[in-house]
């Protein structure tokens, strides 16, 4: 019921990334949970529903990806960088 992946795209070619993303999508479509830890934001853009941004082991952001557009956020990388900046300003 839970698929937990740590840096799953490392070392994969385009075909491997495509196949792995298909497996993740199938898993989600069967009402199962997929948790991915990754620094490869580009590969995640079209498959994630929510993002939890971490910095130094602490949660600095939690967001529903479907709300990015209405909040003026253009990408996952932009969101994470925005949260990093906010976290530093809050200290």
pTM here is 0.77
**Going by C-beta distance under 8 Å and a sequence separation of 6 or more, which residues neighbour residue 42?**
77
In 3D space, the residue among 41, 91, 31 whose CA is nearest the CA of residue 68 turns out to be 41
Parallel/antiparallel/unpaired status of strands 33-37 and 2-6? parallel
| 36-83: pLDDT as tens digits | 999 888 888 888 999 999 988 899 999 999 999 899 999 999 999 899
| 74-88: pLDDT as tens digits | 999 999 989 988 755
Q: Are 53 and 60 in contact (CB under 8 A)?
A: yes
Q: Are 41 and 48 in contact (CB under 8 A)?
A: no
What's phi and psi for 34, nearest 5 deg? Answer: -120, 125
What the block records as the tokens of 61 is: 């952001």
């Amino acid at each position: 019921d839970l698929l937990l992946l740590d840096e799953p795209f490392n070392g994969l070619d385009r075909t491997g990334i495509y196949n792995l993303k298909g497996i993740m999508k199938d898993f989600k479509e069967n009402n199962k949970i997929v948790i991915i830890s990754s620094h490869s934001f580009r590969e995640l853009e079209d498959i994630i529903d929510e993002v939890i941004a971490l910095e130094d082991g602490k949660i600095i952001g939690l967001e529903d990806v479907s709300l990015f557009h209405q909040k003026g956020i253009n990408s996952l990388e932009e969101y994470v960088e925005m949260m990093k900046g906010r976290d530093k300003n809050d200290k």
